A and B are shown apart, each in its own frame.
Chain A
Amino acid sequence: MKWLLVIVMVSATVLSDLLQSYEMKQAGEQSVTARGLARLLQTIVRKRLLILAILGNAVSFFTFMALVQNEPLSFAVPASAASFVLETLLAKFLLHEKIGARRASGTLLVLAGVILVSG
């Protein structure tokens, strides 16, 4: 059961982040003033993929909650960090982001850190 929850949580996180990144880049640079955030909310309502992304976020949040109810945090947090690697790879191949040696090594250092912090 716990691995099913991990798979659902990681898949929902990956899907949500990829959709958000794709749609937000399309929408152009946003501002974080009160007016900017109100405009961002209007953008979300208009774009079906962003609504799907937020649903994915909710699924990921509730599966994480279910996971920590039954498993220790020291398992749940590193398991959720698996989405890090998957998302970085998919960002390269699907979103065509350029991931050089510096970014890749920094990401791996962060991943190792997250695993140690939650261990």
Chain B
Amino acid sequence: MNKSATLKTWFVLLLFLACKAGGNSAMALGMKQVPEKMSMDPTLYLHAMLNPFVAMGIVALILALLTRMALLSMADLSFVLPVTAVGYVFAVVIGKMFLHETVTPQRWLGTMLIFGGALLVGTTSRNTTE
């Protein structure tokens, strides 16, 4: 398999995970600062977007969507799905390190399974339809 194409795929994967994690964190932070409770009223969502963290989160999540599409142009869907699940591992590790959340043994086990599974899928050929 072409080594530089493989490196590019892993770079795009890391970029996607960073945009997704950054976007979700900014959204969560921003939405906590928005006083109104969300409902079916679309003006509430538009008003929430004026919060800088929410706006940054939306931009990062749009970038995440585009980088995931770029990833799908390079690799199989059945490859992308499990390897992008590493995002769950990031969420647990970030929660533990920065937010000092308690992580139960069950969550650590789940995290290890996701990591192991993604590693296993990562060793398969990324594009089988070429």
Counting CB contacts under 8 A, is B94 at the interface?
A: no
A31 vs B73: C-alpha distance in the bound complex, in angstroms? 9
A20 vs B74: C-alpha distance in the bound complex, in angstroms? 12
A116 vs B110: C-alpha distance in the bound complex, in angstroms? 5
- Which residues of A from 1 to 48 have beta carbons under 8 Å from B? 17-18, 20-21, 24-25, 27-32, 36-37, 40-41, 44
Contact between A99 and B78, CB atoms less than 8 A apart: yes
Number of residues of chain B lying within 8 A (CB) of chain A:
45
Give min CB distance, A113 to chain B, whole Å. Answer: 3
Contact between A91 and B76, CB atoms less than 8 A apart: yes
Contact between A116 and B77, CB atoms less than 8 A apart: no
Counting CB contacts under 8 A, is B106 at the interface?
A: yes
- Which residues of B from 92 to 130 have beta carbons under 8 Å from A? 92, 106-107, 109-125, 128-129
Counting CB contacts under 8 A, is A72 at the interface?
A: no
B residues contacting A by CB (< 8 A) are 5, 11-12, 15, 63, 65-70, 72-74, 76-82, 85, 88, 92, 106-107, 109-125, 128-129
What are 16 of the A-B contact pairs (CB < 8 Å)?
Answer: A20-B69, A29-B73, A29-B74, A32-B67, A84-B81, A91-B76, A95-B129, A98-B125, A103-B78, A108-B117, A110-B117, A112-B110, A112-B113, A113-B112, A114-B85, A115-B110
